[in-house]
Every structure is written in structure tokens, then in C-alpha cells.
């Protein structure tokens, strides 16, 4: 191993010792795999063999005209929207299981780092539910939708969710809702008022939920990603209790409600200097509950999006007005909708 400046970095590979200890802890905690099992995995999965794992698929969307599918969403994205009906319950179940583990750890008064670790697991799984929504929304906001879905990057979702949090993401076209001109063209005069109000109620509900989810993403995304890629998070206990964490304990205000953790996210600047951002994260039960609620709102938004888009696809519609909020209409408005089909 290359040795850097000894005055700054320590003598002869102290990093090697730290790494060795880390691997030892990981190995002892997770269990060392048997040598033969490891070799067998390498033999079964030759990294040079590009044919492994490549399967050609032909997709057909049931219940829809294939030509119309190709001309609109395309078969891959349509198929993905179909799968949302299974993906969303799966995501929510995973969030729920993590939440149960966290709640049990709090009730059993387990060590704080264990509680924060499980809280961060809730955060991670809730963020994945939000990302599922973000990916589809991002795909639908530009051309080559399938390409956008499978190639988006974190800054793309940041841009989208920032707009959502500021109510600048227009949910109307995404959810196939009509604009005023389209309503005037397609609705009879008797129904126009009721349909306009129904559209407005639906849109307001969607925009409010998108604002909520967007704000969550912008607040928690850096920490959620940190839990997925390296877990550079220090528990409050190790920052606060003697002998402390050196300069890590000096980077920000530690006078916070516990339990909490601090994510340390570093970026290398153009001049090769490292800039580390200190992200404290509240992991108390009310905040964890909020994460769970957010995942449910994101799930609702994604299911609604899939159902609207697939209905429009199957019935060759460009716009639709759902009856979800019809109970908010006046009796007169409901009568107007009922008199015509």
C-alpha cells in the first residue's frame, strides 16, 4: 500500500490497520464464508461472460391496442406501470416491517446506535418508495420516456422534486387531467361547472401530495442515499460521549433531541480539497412516523398515476376526470353529472 505524508497520515500504513480492523469486524459480525463456497460463486458467475443475465424480452400490454401503446407510452413503460400494482404494496410492506423493528427497539430500550440504525432503515425504504414515484414522473416529463426511466440520475429527481415542493411541477398533464379549453370542448354546458370543479379538486389534491413528497425528498435524500452507499453516518452516542469524535464533534450543534445520527457527505472540489457536509438527522419516533406517512403518500400518488395512465391507454383517451372527489360536489353538481353519461 502506498504511504502518504507520515506527519499527517500516520506511519506506515495506519490505514491498512484501520481497514483490517474494519474487515475483521465485518467478518466476525456477518460470519466468514467458506472458501469453497466463494470459489464456487466465481466459477458460476464469470465476470467476463457477457451473455450471463441477458434475456431478450418481448412485451405486450394486455387490454390495449398495441399500435396505440407504441404511439403513446410504449410497451416497456406501460408494462412497468402495470407492475406498479405489485411494486407499491411490496415497498410499503418493507417500510412497515422496518418501522416495526424500529418501534420494538425503542420499546425495548435498546442501545441508541441500534435504534438509529433501524430508524435509518425506515428512512432508506421510505426513500425508495418516493424514488419509485420520482422515476416514473421524470420519465413522463420528456421524450423517450422509457430511456428516461432507466437512465435518470439523482440530480434529475432533485430537480423534479424541488419543483414539486415549490408547487411548480404541473401535475395536470402528467395525470391526464384536462385544461380549461379541453373541458370546454368536451363537456356539455350543463356539466362544465361540475367537471371543472372535479378537475380542480383532483388537481389540488395531487399538487398538495406532490408538494409534501417533494419536500421530504429534498430534506432527506442526501442521508437516505448515504445509507445505501457506504453508511457514512455516525451515531449521536459516539459523537457525544467521551472521548468524543474529534473534529466531527465540532462541525455542528450537537444539542439536539436524541436519538439522532449525523451523515458525513464529502465531495472532492476542483482544487482537490475535500469538502464535508454535516447532515444531522432526527430519528425520534415522530420523525420516523412522518417518514412512513410520506412513503404512503408517494405510493398513493404512484398508484393513481399508473391507474390514470393505463385507463387512458386502454380506452384511447387523452384526458380524463376521475370521480374520486365527487363527494365534495354540491347535490346540484352531482345531479348534473348524473343526467348525462
Partner 1 sequence: MPDRLNDGMPDLRTFVLPARAYMLGFRDQTLPARRCALADSGEAFATIDGEGHDAQLAVLEVIGDSLQIVEDVGVMADASSMVTGRSRSTYARPFMTLRT
What residues numbered 9-28 form the site for partner 1, per CB under 8 A?
9-11, 13-16, 18-19, 21-23, 25-26
Closest CA to 297 of 228, 215, 222: 215
Closest approach of Cβ 323 to partner 1, in Å? 29
Does the footprint of partner 1 cover residue 1 (CB under 8 A)?
yes
Q: Per-residue contact track with partner 1, 261 to 280, x per CB under 8 A?
A: x--xxxxx---xxxxx----
Strand partners, 265: 277
Does the footprint of partner 1 cover residue 252 (CB under 8 A)?
no
Which distant-in-sequence residues (6+ apart) come within 8 Å of 194 by Cβ?
A: 329, 333, 334, 336, 337
Sheet of 260-268: strands edge to edge? 233-235, 260-268, 274-282
Within residues 22-81, the interface with partner 1 by CB under 8 A covers 22-23, 25-26, 29-30
Within residues 87-116, the interface with partner 1 by CB under 8 A covers 87, 90, 93-94, 97-98, 101, 111, 113-114, 116
Cell numbers at residue 303, please?
A: 398508484
Cβ atoms of 190 and 339 within 8 Å: the answer is: yes
Closest approach of Cβ 315 to partner 1, in Å? 24
Give whichever of 4 and 142 is closer to partner 1, judged by the CB atom. 4
Does the footprint of partner 1 cover residue 218 (CB under 8 A)?
no
Omega before 259 within 30 of 0, i.e. cis: yes
**Number of separate helices (H) and strands (E) present in the chain:** 14, 3
Closest approach of Cβ 89 to partner 1, in Å? 9
Q: What is d(CA 141, CA 162) in angstroms, rounded to the nearest whole number?
A: 14
Within residues 303-332, the interface with partner 1 by CB under 8 A covers none
Within residues 232-251, the interface with partner 1 by CB under 8 A covers 232-235, 237-239, 243-249
Within residues 158-177, the interface with partner 1 by CB under 8 A covers none
C-alpha gyration radius of the chain? 26
Amino acid at each position: 500500500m502506498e504511504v502518504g505524508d507520515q506527519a499527517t497520515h500516520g506511519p506506515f500504513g495506519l490505514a491498512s490497520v484501520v481497514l483490517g480492523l474494519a474487515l475483521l469486524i465485518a467478518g466476525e459480525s456477518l460470519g466468514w464464508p467458506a472458501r469453497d463456497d466463494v470459489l464456487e460463486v466465481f466459477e458460476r458467475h464469470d465476470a467476463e461472460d457477457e451473455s450471463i443475465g441477458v434475456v431478450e424480452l418481448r412485451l405486450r400490454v394486455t387490454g390495449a391496442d398495441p399500435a396505440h401503446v407504441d404511439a403513446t407510452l410504449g410497451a416497456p413503460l406501460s408494462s412497468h406501470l402495470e407492475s406498479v400494482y405489485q411494486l407499491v404494496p411490496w415497498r410499503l410492506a418493507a417500510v412497515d416491517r422496518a418501522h416495526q423493528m424500529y418501534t420494538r427497539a425503542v420499546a425495548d430500550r435498546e442501545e441508541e446506535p441500534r435504534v438509529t440504525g433501524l430508524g435509518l432503515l425506515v428512512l432508506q425504504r421510505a426513500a425508495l418508495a418516493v424514488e419509485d414515484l420520482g422515476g416514473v414522473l421524470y420519465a413522463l416529463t420528456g421524450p423517450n420516456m422509457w430511456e428516461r426511466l432507466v437512465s435518470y440520475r439523482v440530480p434529475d429527481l432533485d430537480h423534479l422534486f424541488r419543483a414539486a415542493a415549490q408547487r411548480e411541477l404541473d401535475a395536470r398533464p402528467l395525470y391526464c387531467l384536462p385544461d380549461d379549453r379541453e373541458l370546454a370542448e368536451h363537456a356539455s354546458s350543463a356539466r362544465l361547472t361540475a367537471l371543472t370543479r372535479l378537475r380542480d379538486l383532483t388537481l389540488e389534491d395531487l399538487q398538495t401530495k406532490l408538494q409534501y413528497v417533494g419536500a421530504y425528498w429534498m430534506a432527506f435524500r442526501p442521508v437516505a442515499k448515504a445509507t445505501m452507499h457506504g453508511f457514512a453516518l455516525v451515531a449521536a452516542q459516539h459523537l457525544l460521549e467521551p472521548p468524543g469524535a474529534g473534529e466531527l464533534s465540532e462541525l455542528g450543534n450537537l444539542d439536539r433531541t436524541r436519538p439522532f445520527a449525523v451523515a458525513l457527505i464529502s465531495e472532492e472540489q476542483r482544487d482537490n480539497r475535500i469538502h464535508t457536509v454535516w447532515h444531522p438527522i432526527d430519528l425520534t419516533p415522530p420523525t420516523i412516523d412522518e417518514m412512513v406517512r410520506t412513503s404512503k403518500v408517494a405510493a398513493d400518488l404512484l398508484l393513481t398515476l399508473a391507474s390514470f395512465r393505463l385507463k387512458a391507454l386502454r380506452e384511447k383517451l387523452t384526458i380524463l376526470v376521475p370521480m374520486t372527489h365527487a363527494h365534495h360536489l354540491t347535490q346540484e353538481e352531482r345531479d348534473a353529472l348524473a343526467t348525462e353519461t
